[in-house]
C-alpha cells in the first residue's frame, strides 16, 4: 500500500505540475487561465502601463484605505459598544475631522488622476504622433462575427468566425478560437480602425493582453493602436452586449515575425485566406473555415 501511495502522490504532483505549466503557457500566449487572478501578461506598451497603474498605484492605495476603514469599524465596534460606553457623546461637529475627511480624499484623487490622465493620453494620442503607422487594419463588427480588411497590403479582407466546440483541436480554448486569425508583425505599430455594420448594432473589439478595448459603432470610425512585443496567440472577445450571438464572436490575433507576416500577406492575396491560414496549421492545428454562422451555431461541421 505504501508503494501505491507513493506512486499516486508522484502522479498527482506530476499532473499538478503539468497543469501549472500548461496554465503558464496559456497565460504567456494571451489566453485566460482557470482561477486566474489579475491581468494577463502584458504584450504591448499600453498594457505595461495599465498593469503598473493598477498593481503599482491603485492596488496599494485601495488596500491602505480598506485597512484604515476596517480599523475604524473595529474601533467603533469595541470602544463605542453599549456595554463599554453607556453614555454616548452628543458631539455633532468636529472641524478638524471634517476638514481632514474632505481634503484627504481630494489629495488621493489627485494622486490617482495625474498618472491616469497620462495613461489615457498615451492610449489615445500616441498614434497621432506617428505620421505613417507601419500597418493599418480595419475591424468591422457584424452580427455575429468580425470582418477584417488590410488596406495597406492589397486591400484584401476576410471574415472571422468562432470555431464550434466539436471542431476544436487539443489546446484550443473554447469560445475563443476562430477560423481566421488577425495576423500582425511583432514590434510594428498597428493602427486599428474599428466600426460596425451600418445595419447592425454596437460591438466592442477587445484584447486583454494588449490593453485595447474600443467600441465598434455603426456609421462611425474609431481608432486605436498597439505594438505587440512578442510572438504568440492573443485572444479576446466582443465586450459590448450585442445580441444573442454576443458570446460567440471571439477575436484572435497572431503576432509573427516580419518575414512570416510578409509571406502570409502574399499567400492571402494570391491564394486566399484559407490557404494563408494553413501556414500556421502546424502551430495551432487550425480547423478549416466555417461556411456560415448559422452552421456554426447549429453545431454542423464547416468545410
Residue-wise pLDDT tens digits, 109-135: 999 999 999 999 888 877 666 667 889
pLDDT at 2: 55
pLDDT at 75: 92
What span, in angstroms and rounded, lies between the C-alpha atoms of 71 and 251?
A: 45
Which of 293, 235, 219, 230 has the alpha carbon at shortest distance from 257?
A: 230
pLDDT at 276: 86
pLDDT at 116: 94
Pick out the chain residues at pLDDT < 70.
1-29, 127-131, 282-303
Backbone dihedral region of 144: left (phi > 0), alpha (psi from -120 to 50 degrees) or beta?
beta
Centre a 10 Å sphere on the Cβ of residue 151 and count the other Cβ atoms it contains.
Answer: 13
192 within 8 A of 134, measured Cβ to Cβ = no
Return the biggest CA–CA distance within the chain: 88
pLDDT at 287: 38
pLDDT at 237: 93
* H helix and E strand count, the chain: 8, 10
pLDDT at 87: 84
DSSP 250: E
What span, in angstroms and rounded, lies between the C-alpha atoms of 178 and 288?
A: 10
Residues comprising the chain, all counted: 303
pLDDT at 34: 83
Kindly report the backbone phi and psi dihedral angles of residue 35, in degrees, each rounded to the nearest multiple of 5, phi listed first.
60, 25
Residue 280 CB contacts under 8 Å (≥ 6 apart), including other chains: 181, 254, 256, 264, 286
DSSP 56: I
Amino acid at each position: 500500500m505504501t508503494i501505491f501511495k507513493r506512486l499516486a502522490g508522484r502522479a498527482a504532483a506530476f499532473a499538478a505540475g503539468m497543469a501549472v505549466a500548461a496554465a503558464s503557457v496559456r497565460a504567456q500566449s494571451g489566453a485566460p487561465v482557470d482561477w486566474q487572478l489579475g491581468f494577463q501578461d502584458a504584450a504591448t506598451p499600453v498594457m505595461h502601463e495599465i498593469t503598473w497603474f493598477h498593481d503599482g498605484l491603485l492596488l496599494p492605495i485601495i488596500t491602505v484605505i480598506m485597512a484604515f476603514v476596517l480599523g475604524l469599524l473595529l474601533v467603533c465596534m469595541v470602544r463605542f459598544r453599549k456595554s463599554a460606553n453607556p453614555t454616548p457623546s452628543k458631539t455633532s461637529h468636529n472641524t478638524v475631522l471634517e476638514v481632514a475627511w474632505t481634503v484627504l480624499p481630494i489629495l488621493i484623487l489627485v494622486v490617482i488622476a495625474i498618472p491616469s490622465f497620462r495613461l489615457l493620453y498615451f492610449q489615445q494620442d500616441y498614434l497621432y504622433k506617428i505620421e505613417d503607422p507601419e500597418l493599418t487594419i480595419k475591424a468591422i463588427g457584424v452580427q455575429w462575427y468580425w470582418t477584417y480588411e488590410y488596406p495597406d497590403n492589397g486591400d484584401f479582407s476576410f471574415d472571422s468566425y468562432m470555431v464550434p466546440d466539436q471542431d476544436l483541436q487539443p489546446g484550443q480554448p473554447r469560445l475563443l478560437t476562430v477560423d481566421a486569425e488577425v495576423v500582425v508583425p511583432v514590434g510594428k505599430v498597428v493602427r486599428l480602425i474599428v466600426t460596425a455594420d451600418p445595419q447592425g448594432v454596437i460591438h466592442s473589439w477587445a484584447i486583454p493582453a494588449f490593453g485595447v478595448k474600443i467600441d465598434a459603432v455603426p456609421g462611425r470610425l474609431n481608432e486605436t493602436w498597439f505594438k505587440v512585443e512578442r510572438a504568440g496567440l492573443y485572444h479576446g472577445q466582443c465586450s459590448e452586449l450585442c445580441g444573442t450571438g454576443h458570446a460567440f464572436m471571439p477575436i484572435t490575433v497572431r503576432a509573427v515575425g516580419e518575414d512570416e507576416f510578409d509571406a502570409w500577406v502574399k499567400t492571402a492575396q494570391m491564394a486566399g485566406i484559407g490557404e494563408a491560414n494553413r501556414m500556421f496549421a502546424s502551430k495551432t492545428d487550425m480547423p478549416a473555415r466555417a461556411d456560415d454562422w448559422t452552421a456554426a451555431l447549429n453545431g454542423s461541421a464547416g468545410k
